[in-house]
Amino acid sequence: MTDVHTVLVRSKNMRAIKGKNTKPELIVRRYLHAAGFRFRLHRKDLPGRPDIVLPKHRAVIFVHGCFWHRHPRCRFAVLPATRPSFWLEKLQGNVARDEKQIAALESLGWRTFVIWECQAKNASVLEGVAQEIFGKG
């Protein structure tokens, strides 16, 4: 199967993908802020630069994109038909790095939580995570 875009157009599209302040991340941040919680963003001194850091609760939240971080059994985590071996290696590397960063954070005493892109719009998922972290929603 060939790509529907030229190499230049595909390259431009891929460069436009953000790593910070993504739409799912903004949704989660808005929910937490409205619920009265205060947090820090992308702390460089922590392994993996977690998306959301709640120092008071010693908790971090990663808001993962389903495609980029291989959300199991998710319809958005489909392997591209073009250059599948390249993508499989790249995406498996992302997953391995995530696991390493989470282990490092937990060894430093941080509680880690992952909210997937497909879950970010689901208020009950956000409420459940908030209750698990803070004991309230």
Domain that holds residue 45: 18-134
The 10s digit of each residue's pLDDT in 14-29 is: 676 767 788 999 999 9
Is residue 128 domain-resident? yes
Residue 108: which residues within 8 A CB-CB, separation 6 or more?
46, 47
Per-residue pLDDT tens over the stretch 71-101: 999 999 999 888 899 999 999 999 999 999 9
Nearest to 128 by CA among 56, 35, 50: 35
Q: What's the token pair of residue 22? A: 């993504």
* Residue 1 within any structural domain of the chain: no
Flag whether 86 is in a domain.
yes
Alpha-carbon distance 52 to 62, whole Å? 7
Query: Chain-centre distance of CA 136, in angstroms?
Result: 23
Q: Does any domain span residue 58? A: yes
Distance of CA 62 to the CA centre of its chain: 5
pTM score, two decimals?
Answer: 0.84
Query: Does a structural domain hold residue 11?
Result: no
Q: Does residue 12 fall inside a structural domain?
A: no
Count: domains in the chain: 1
The verdict on residue 70 lying in a domain is: yes
Average pLDDT of span 110-116: 95
For residue 63, give the CATH number of its domain: 3.40.960.10
